[in-house]
Chains A and B, each alone.
Chain A
Amino acid sequence: MIKEGKFGAQEAVCLITVTITSKVFFSSPAIIAGLIGNTGWYTTLISAAVALVGFCFIYLLLKRFPGKDIVEIFDIALGRVVGFIFSGILGIYMLFISVTRVNELSEFLKVYVIPLSPNWLIIGIFIACIFTLSLLGLESIARLSKLLIYALLAGFLVVLLLGIQNYNINNLFPIFGYGLDKIAFQGIVRSSVYGEVIILAIFAKSFQGVKFIKKEGITGILLSAAIISVSVLSYSLTFPYYVVQEITAPMYAMSTLIDYGRFVQRVEPLFLYVWIIGSFISATLVFYSFIWIFCKTFRIQDKKPIIIGSCTILYATALMHKDIISIILGYVVLIRNFGSLPLFVLPLIALIAALIRKKGGNLNA
Chain B
Amino acid sequence: MAKFGTAEVYKEMGDMLNNDDEWLNKRGTKISYSMVYDYGEPVDKAFFTRFEAGRVTEVRELESRGNIDADFVISGSTDTWRGVLTKTVDPTVALTRGQLKVKGKMATLLKNMNAFKYVIEKMSQIPLD
Are A and B subunits of one complex? no
Residues of B at the A interface (CB closer than 8 Å) are none
